[in-house]
Structure formats: structure tokens, C-alpha cells
Structure 1
């Protein structure tokens, strides 16, 4: 008792030593008043029990638990939690998850999600791998001997490290990997917490953190149930979509962001929602929607992006009167200023890339005032935002599959298709093609780039025969290249937020060969719908053996990323926000 007071004298619950309880009358209700909640404390060996909770362990500790008036259930949770779906309010699992391998761990977390009620909270505590390794490197690992007998009895620091991290454990986690695992298993609002801190006052007031000196703590919630398709059809919304100032919607050439806005606008319109599209002059309204022009299309990176977006907002703010929700697809989040005009307006923002210094500062300022309802276009991007302090929900991009004709027969030339910019790295595609002895076409934007010298260097690497520089083409010609390509090379190295071109290629039955960059491994199934390569050497090898890919499997993978699926995800997000489930 004294020891934890030294850790935090303001700890908000009376922690009672079992020896103290044995000295006089003990009433559980004094320490754990009835709150009507179903609370599971899983993997609760004798030093991790809590009053007022159902303490669950695979060991038979019933007799021990009764002697101290704990509620106990013997259960092997790997066979499933013995609770109905949507019946549990809170789950606590302290120093349990690391005893399972990754596969069993994900199975366990999925079952936790099953039994939790909508909005229910799970709190996990696991050994802090980073902290423990840092202590080892500083020669301080033996300090953990006070909380781990194995460390205390170890003959040297190396053995102490082994006993602390590996003995009896199935895996290790750091904060990033644990959060990613929670996200994969369906949890949202994933947050790191201090030992004596929780989103739940119940957890904070009724439980004691286990091994706070060597642990890290993460909490997450089960999301609100997905809206059914029937409910989506019955509830029609008035939605504003705000695009950038750079290209018209739909774009006449290649521009992934504006194409996604167009796909979303048309599918929402088809579903019967009222759509107002805010986009540059020359854009087109969806069939039953409305276009509000935000200024001339800029078609250049050599402009003040912040001012361009600011100028567009003055048009937006005068056309929000009847909107239910405003959905920004821009870079600085000016749409949040609409809250000043219409406080009840709900706003969400899809960021189609990373947060640099300027847009990071912009969104951080908004975050202090409002819920951002930020949407990431991949799990990888959601992890990046989380590391920068922003919660997000993931909605994958989608394409109109009817616009992409499947073709079984392929030509003999590989294809690079994207902006001719260092971030997209066409020079690596050229290197790979030369080493593979393959033919390659470089197709992509050269006007919307910030480094014209790089464009010239790429042109100089092309010989006009085996390696051809094509440059910019219209949408129809782009589709011809995608259908006929032997394979699509994606040599990005900047942290690809999504990789829309990989979907477009697979929709045509063309296999992408990509470096393992950003979100691409979420999109491409390695060895099935394309290849994810860790080196240029591997990319060269895959180019020489691309015939092993089944073109029909490429098309089937693309079908997982249809415009309709994307739009249903967004409508679900809109309705969650309107129902008060914001993030």
C-alpha cells in the first residue's frame, strides 16, 4: 500500500492489502460498490485480482479467490469467452496478451470485440519492450529484479533480459505493433495511457496497474455497429464534398484524389443522397447534384497551396446552409471554419497523404476546438496519423470497376504510370527494367511536378526503344496502357498512402510489382495479385518471372476496392458522426 502511494499519492481508489483485510471484518461492497456493469479481468493470476470484477484465469484458483471474496471464473479464453455477443462493458487484460503468439492474440482480441458492447472499452498492459531494451543497454536491467524473480536470479544482464522478455512469452509488442493489432481486430479510439490513467473512471477507480515500472498501457473501444444497407437506403443525407483547387472533377488526365472525389460523388448520388460538389471551374456536377465552383483550376504545384484553399473556402461558407455533413478532401482543413457559420454542421476530412509541418499545424489547431473525424485511406496511414497524435477511421479508396476492361492477353512491355517525380521514383523502374532486360514505358504527369530537372534526368535515362518516355496521356489512353502492360512497376519509396494505380492495374488483370512501401502491402496480395518486393533485386527477379501470376486473381482482388464499397464505408462514417459517435 505504501509503495503505490509513493508512485502516485493521488491514486483515486483505496487499495487494501490482503493482510489488512484479515485483521478485521471485510465487506466487498465497501471497496467495489455495485455498478451494474459486466467487467472481465482476463488472465488474472493471484497478483492481478480486482474487486467488483469477474476475474478470469485458466488456472483453478477458485479456492484462493473465495478466501479473499474475489469473484472468479476458470476459463480457457483461447476456446472463446463464455459470454454472449454485445454483453460486456469493460475488459482488462494485464500481462496476458504477450503469453500468446500473434495468431492466438488476434483470435483472442477478436473475441473480446465480439463480447464487448458497442462503445465498450478494452485495456491492455504488456511489457514495454522498448523501455526494457533501453534499460538493458544502460546496464540497468537488474533493477527489474524487484518485480521479476527470474531477473533477480539471472547470472548476468543478458540472461536477465531473456527472462524478462522471452521466458514464458509467445511474442513481444511495442506501442506501434500493439495498436496496429488492435486496429486489425476491429477496435477504434486506440490510445496510449499512463499507468494510473484511463478513459474509464471505473477502471481508474477500481483497479491497480500491474507492474507499472516495466509496462505500457493501451486502451481501445469497440466501434458502433455498421449501418445496414437497408438503413443506408432509408436515410438520405445532404452531403457536401470539397475537392482541391488543382484539377477539375472528374480530372481530364491522371489525378487520383480528384478521381476519388468524383467516384464518391456519383455513387452517393446514385444512392439517392443529395450531393453538393465544391470544385474548380470546369468540373461537372453528379447527375442529380449541384456544383459550386471554387475558382480556376490551378494545374501547378508552384502556387501558394494554403491561400488557394483559403480562397476556395469563401465560396464554400456561403453554400452550407442545408448540408448535414461537409466532407473535405483538401490539404489544410479549411472546411472546419464552417463551424463558425453553422455550429451544428458535422464535418469530416479525408487526408490523401502525409501531414507535413503546415497541414499538421493547421489540423492540430482545429483539434483543440472540434472533433476532426479524420479519415485515413489505409491502415498504414492511420498508424502514421496516430503517431502524430490524430485518431482516424480507415476508408479504402475505390474505383469504378465498369470503367476498367479486363484483358487476359498482355503485351511485352512493362509500365510505369504516375507523376514523374522523385517520390514516385521512375528512375528505379528504369534501373529495374534495364537489369531485367525488359522493355518499359514511362507514362505520367510532367506538368504537376515541382522538380523539372528530375523530369529531364528521367528522359535522359530513356533510349526511345526499349525504355520509352511517353509523358502525359488522357484517361482513355491510360487505360490502354494498363490493359496491355506485361506488368506495372511501382517503385515508390516515400511512404505510399494507398496506391490507387495498383487497383486500376489489377482491375485490368495486370499484375503490379511494387517495392514494400507504405500501404501497398495492404492492397496487393503478394504472390497472388502481384508482388511486394523488399529490394530492387527482388523486383528484377519478379519481372523475369511475372508469368506465374493469374490475371483473373488480379481482377478479383481489385473487386475488393470498388466505388460502391468505398461509398458504403463513407456513408456509415457519416451516419456514425451524425448519431454522435465522433472521433
Structure 2
């Protein structure tokens, strides 16, 4: 098991093993919301003097010491169980001899080994917590300390062993600010039906605006959805650009009149919203999931309850101040803010005695 000498436990610097999912590089070359957030967290913790060992797939791309489970990442097999399980087994073996204060696991299968460690395991839940994922974390019990990425997410499973809520973040300065926008709107994300790309096209068309769409289109279900709902809607006023890399994504986000975010599920966060606002681009979104925690209605975007209200919002959003969007991200969703909040989680978990089996510890950490 991971060594637990306590050498760094009571000093300012912590020794943290960070476990990434196996599917993409950290940071990702294209799509990869978890990997983007993880790269930013590693950078923030490293800047603050902590010693990070990152276990993941692919190439080293951060300031952390890097240990690889796959080279290259098995991206084409995303959704299959064996790469995830093999990654978890390799990650556990790689971490055995590391002197650490805690493990922060962002993978799916990795937390299964948490009970075998002498140090605490923190798990950030990046997915939909109701249903089977919630049952999985419930079965792990006090072996893991859970961190939610929004209050909306945590409300679906309040009985889990929550250690707090920490919103995801971006390096605000890495996103180009643009005050004067072009007249088209943008949809950016994964081509899954719940993300609402087809709804975005309908909304933009109803508003009389051209829409550009960019997103990941690799998995069979994504292709099925694209052919059924998206391709028939494309035309001179609705163009699919393919998947955007980091540079292209920033160009699109900075130039767009607004980001359309018509999600059809209770999304626990939505990184693209803060990426857009960091560029000074407001968000027009449906009021679901974490949207009201991320977007300030009437200030950094317009949040509506019904799809039928979105076309009018696309027109009204032009009156919002791009500077307010940028400031909102810098104040609430910057990497430095997220890093400090995770530090607080780590220190309280390290110094707080564990509850008896079956107990729930909630450190009630603030998110503002």
C-alpha cells in the first residue's frame, strides 16, 4: 500500500498522487473536460509548492512527475470496461511505493482500491450521481471522501460521504478576451443528444442567426445521434466544423455572439460555459443542472426555463457586458480559486479523524 510516513502531513507542502482517467492525455489535445480540469488543478497545486505525482495515459504534459499506464491513451476504446479496469490496476501498482499524504482519484474504477491504502482517497465525481454511479460510490462508503463539482450534483445523492463541493475552473488568462463579437452563435461540446446540439440549431434558426457547431464525434452513439438529428438540420445557416482543438476552441468562443447551452439533462457542471465567459462571451442556457450556479442571469448570460424562450434570449444577450462575463470567471472559476478550495478539502481530510463505517462526513466547504 502507499507509504504513509507523515513526513509532509503537518507542513505546508502536501504530497499528492493524482489519478487521471485513461482516455486522453493530460492536458488533452482536443476533447477532454476532466483532463482539462485536472491539468489546471495540477498546475495550480504545483505553483503553490505541493508535490504532485500524476498517474495517467499518454504523454507527460504538466509540471507533475508523470507515470503512464497507457501509451498512447486508448481513446478509440472509450466506454469499454477493460481499459478502465486495467488502468486502475496499473495505477494502484504504480502508487504502492509512493510516499503520499493522499490520493485524489478522477477515474471510474480506481476508487475500488481505496480501502487498501493507508492514506485517504479523495474522489471528484465528474458524472451523473443519481442512478448506478451513485450506487457505486454509496457501496464504497467511508473508504472515499467525495467532492462534488456543484451543489446541484450533490443534491441528487446527499447521503454520500461528501467532503464538500468545489467548482471546476479554468486559467482565465489563457482565454482571449474579445469585447466586440461577430453575429453568429456557437454550440460546443460532445455530440450526445443530452447536450442539445439539435436544439441549438433550431433555436439559432428561430432567432435568425447563423450557428457554428464544434464537438467530439467519435463514439457509435454520437454518430447515430448526429446522423439522426444534427446532419438533417445542417445548411448554409448551420455548419458543423468538426472537433476543435484548444486553440480553435478559444478562437470560436471569443468571436461568438453567445454560447448556446440548451442541455436536456441535469448536467453537473459544464466547463464550456466558464470557457465562454472567460472570453467575454455570454451564455444562453436552459435552467438545468448547475447552470444557475455558473451563469448569473442577466449579467453573464440569460437562463431560461423553456426551449421556446431561447430564441428571444439570443437577441437580448447582445446587451450584456463582456467585461462582466470575464470578471465573473476570474473571481469565481479561476484555477487559483479552485486550487485553494481543494487545498482546504485535502487538509481537512488529512487532519479529520474518519467517521465509523457507514458514517457520513460533510465538511461543508463553501464554493464561493
Matches within 5 A, 1:196-275: 235-275=12-52
C-alpha change, 1:392 and 1:271, in structure 2 (3 Å) is closer
Q: Take 1:303 and 1:496, find their aligned partners in 2: how far apart are those partners?
A: 19
Q: Take 1:279 and 1:469, find their aligned partners in 2: how far apart are those partners?
A: 31
Q: Take 1:313 and 1:524, find their aligned partners in 2: how far apart are those partners?
A: 35
The corresponding residue for 1:374 is 146
Post-superposition CA distance 1:350-369 (Å, at most 9, x none): 011113654334322221xx
Matches within 5 A, 1:88-237: 235-237=12-14
Report if the CA contact (8 A) 2:287-2:304 is conserved: yes
The corresponding residue for 1:580 is 352
The corresponding residue for 1:569 is 341
Post-superposition CA distance 1:1-28 (Å, at most 9, x none): xxxxxxxxxxxxxxxxxxxxxxxxxxxx
The offset of 1:452, in angstroms, is 1.3
Q: Which runs of 5+ in 1 are unaligned?
A: 1-231
Q: Take 1:518 and 1:480, find their aligned partners in 2: how far apart are those partners?
A: 27
2:74 maps to which of 298, 303, 323: 298
1:460 maps to which of 211, 232, 238: 232
Report if the CA contact (8 A) 1:331-1:359 is conserved: no
Q: Take 1:317 and 1:302, find their aligned partners in 2: how far apart are those partners?
A: 20
Higher Cα radius of gyration: 1
The corresponding residue for 1:345 is 119
C-alpha change, 1:248 and 1:568, in structure 2 (3 Å) is same
Q: Which runs of 5+ in 2 are unaligned?
A: 1-8, 355-360, 362-368
The corresponding residue for 1:362 is 136
The corresponding residue for 1:394 is 165
Q: Does 1:488 align with 2:264?
A: no
Matches within 5 A, 1:52-63: none
C-alpha change, 1:581 and 1:532, in structure 2 (3 Å) is farther
Q: Take 1:282 and 1:449, find their aligned partners in 2: how far apart are those partners?
A: 26
Cα RMSD of the aligned pairs, angstroms, is 1.9
- Secondary structure of the residue that 2:190 maps to in structure 1? coil
The offset of 1:493, in angstroms, is 1.3
Q: Does 1:442 align with 2:213?
A: yes
Post-superposition CA distance 1:433-489 (Å, at most 9, x none): 1111111001111114623121123022110x2111112121101100000001100
Report if the CA contact (8 A) 2:194-2:265 is conserved: yes
Q: Take 1:506 and 1:303, find their aligned partners in 2: how far apart are those partners?
A: 31
Post-superposition CA distance 1:172-200 (Å, at most 9, x none): xxxxxxxxxxxxxxxxxxxxxxxxxxxxx
The corresponding residue for 2:104 is 327
The offset of 1:233, in angstroms, is 11
Q: Does 1:424 align with 2:195?
A: yes
Count of aligned pairs: 342
Q: Does 1:276 align with 2:53?
A: yes
Q: Take 1:377 and 1:516, find their aligned partners in 2: how far apart are those partners?
A: 17
The offset of 1:377, in angstroms, is 0.2
TM-score where L is the length of structure 1? 0.56
Report if the CA contact (8 A) 1:529-1:553 is conserved: yes
Q: Take 1:291 and 1:482, find their aligned partners in 2: how far apart are those partners?
A: 31
TM-score where L is the length of structure 2? 0.88
The offset of 1:319, in angstroms, is 3.0
Report if the CA contact (8 A) 1:377-1:394 is conserved: yes
Post-superposition CA distance 1:150-207 (Å, at most 9, x none): xxxxxxxxxxxxxxxxxxxxxxxxxxxxxxxxxxxxxxxxxxxxxxxxxxxxxxxxxx
